[in-house]
Amino acid sequence: MTTQDTTLLTGDTLASASGDDFLALLERRHSTRMFKETPVSQELISRMVKAATLLPTSCNRQLWHFIAVTEPDLKRKVSKLSDAQQSYLYDAPVLIAVFYDTSLETRNPCCTAEVTVGMSISALLLAAEAHNLGAIYLGGIRRPAGIGKALGVPPYLKCFGLVCVGWKDDEPPAPNRRPVQDVLSFNTFDLQHERYRADIRPHLWTLEQIADFRDKLLWYKGVHIDGKTLHVDADVRFSPLFQFMTTRLGLMLENVATPRVLDVLSFNGDVVMQLITAYNGQMAELYAYDLTPGIARYITERFERLRLPGTCTCLVNAEANQFLIPLPDGHIQIMSCYERLEHFEDPLPLLREMRRVLAPGGRLLLLVSNRYYPHMYRYKRMRNKNYSLGRNWNRGPERKYEPAQVERLLREAGFRITDAFGLQPVHLKMYDLGIKLCRRLGWHRLADRWADRVMQGYVTDGFFRTFSSTLAYELE
């Protein structure tokens, strides 16, 4: 009798032997976003698909179909149609498009067809890992029907996404996962798990929920830990808004000799990174404060991997359900907070905590998204009742404030506004429209002049401040 046969007979021992190998495979697997150019053989692809076909399927219908796209021009076409703007779609030597015929199960309340596809996709990902291949599933496809058409697939087969496969060219860090006890109940639902409910309305979230959301989301949405942006949004750092923020903080730094600086709710550490690269050596201490140890780990690991010319101290909120920055009163001379108040129904406790650690005469730069600005995604979202549009799905709860509301909150928290700006005022949009019209009419000199105004008009402290995309306050 072999060892394996022996374990078969001993119940739980079986689980620990082969089960451990399986768990190890699962733990090893992470989404790969950088691939080598080396091609993947058709045999390996076949083995992966074989694995996918072994998973359960609703009523054993097996109405799936997999198309492995390897031909460069076709791959390029599929990448374009997906409109996902991901480099790995271009880099991966193989894209496996996953189709399923859902026509018999469209009204199934448990979405069994979709679940079947999901299981087959996870088998593809695990089989890739088992063969030391890298893979990533991409479901955010704008035109799935277009992909089907491009690949000559009949219309009754629905595209459920793309699995990019290739030889790994990166070592992604392990993201934070929720512990099992947090997601497992026996017999009946454990009400303590309610805290993981997701909703875009801030009043439904506790601080603990928000902390958990940010802790997990960071690994998805955040800038790739090596400083490589590989996700849906372009790196927000390379924007006039961030340029404004960095340089305003620089102006503050210029007026205080080697200050202690704190960035509040640092998330992926973008602001702190800017401070390190632009003003290294000008700060006595630099702190990044956020809500969970997972976020602190992300920032630390990111900065270490990038080998930044300086470093920061990561601070974690000291209480589960209230803001408590682990610093003594009046410790900080310069503080920044970039579009974070929006996540909270009542940001006053956060502002009061910020006030507590700010030294007398210290300065705070606060940026808040403005409710009066016509952010188009909000209207699209309302019209389509589609909350995956816009920012909420990857930023969490969001509440936009009117300038008067923000100013009242700031006063209540004990701050004094010393300067106020508007970033990206709404009239720039009108100029943009005017420029397009002028170009069409051939009035290029006027268009050039307006384009120059747009270039110079990103920051305003005049009338249009109230109607700017972002409000910026300098406080003490």
Partner 1 sequence: MNSNNMTTNNGSVDMAVGRLEGWLATMGGSAGYYGPVVGLRGVSMAWCGIGYDWRWEGLLDGWTTLHRRTKDPVHLDRMDAALNALTSAQLANGTFCNSYFENNPFEGGMPYEPALMAAVLRTLSYMREIAHPWPVGTAEMVERFVEERLIKELWNKVLKTFNNWMQSDFERYSPPAVAAIVEILCDYAKLTDSAERLAPYIVGAANSLLACQFRDGPRMGALPLSNQEGSDVSPCMAARALPAFARLQQQTGDARFATAGDALERFVRNSFLPDGGIAVMAFAHRSTRLAPLFVGATADTLRSFERAGRYDATLMRTQIPWLLSHQTASGGFDTAVGFEDGRGSKRLPDWRDVIPVCGWTDKIYGLLAGLVEKPVSLVSGGPVSRSVRVRGEEALFMEDNVSMTLQSKNTDWFNWRKRTVSPLTCRL
448: phi > 0 → left, psi -120 to 50 → alpha, else beta; which? alpha
Give, in order, the Cα–Cα distances in Å from 50 to each of 3, 118, 179, 288, 303: 28, 15, 31, 47, 41
Q: How far is the CB of 446 from partner 1 (least distance, A)?
A: 9
Question: What amino acid occupies position 466?
Answer: T
Q: How far is the CB of 278 from partner 1 (least distance, A)?
A: 4
Q: How far is the CB of 273 from partner 1 (least distance, A)?
A: 9
CA 411, distance to chain mean position in Å, is: 32
Find out whether 95 and 78 touch, Cβ atoms under 8 Å.
Answer: yes
Give, in order, the Cα–Cα distances in Å from 440 to each of 392, 429, 452, 455: 36, 17, 18, 20
Q: How far is the CB of 316 from partner 1 (least distance, A)?
A: 25
Nearer to partner 1, 203 or 449 (CB): 449
Q: How far is the CB of 421 from partner 1 (least distance, A)?
A: 10
Nearer to partner 1, 12 or 37 (CB): 37
Nearer to partner 1, 57 or 468 (CB): 468
The pair of structure tokens assigned to 280 is: 């290294």
Nearer to partner 1, 54 or 251 (CB): 251
Nearer to partner 1, 151 or 459 (CB): 459
Nearer to partner 1, 76 or 201 (CB): 76
Q: How far is the CB of 308 from partner 1 (least distance, A)?
A: 7
Q: How far is the CB of 85 from partner 1 (least distance, A)?
A: 5
DSSP run (H or E) holding 306: helix 293-306
User: Measured in Å, how far apart are the chain's first and last C-alpha atoms?
Assistant: 78
Q: How many CB atoms lie within 10 A of CB 420?
A: 17
Nearer to partner 1, 109 or 309 (CB): 309
Q: Which residues bind partner 1 (CB under 8 A)?
A: 34, 37, 72, 75-76, 79-80, 85, 87, 90-91, 169, 226-231, 234-235, 237-238, 242-244, 246-248, 250-251, 253-255, 274, 277-279, 282, 305-309, 442, 444-445, 448-449, 452, 455-456
Q: How far is the CB of 259 from partner 1 (least distance, A)?
A: 13
Q: What is the DSSP string of 81-143?
A: HHT---HHHHH-SEEEEEEEE-TTSTT-TT-HHHHHHHHHHHHHHHHHHHTTEEEEEE---S-
Nearer to partner 1, 202 or 310 (CB): 310
**Across the beta sheet with 157-167, what order do the strands follow?**
64-69, 94-101, 157-167, 133-138
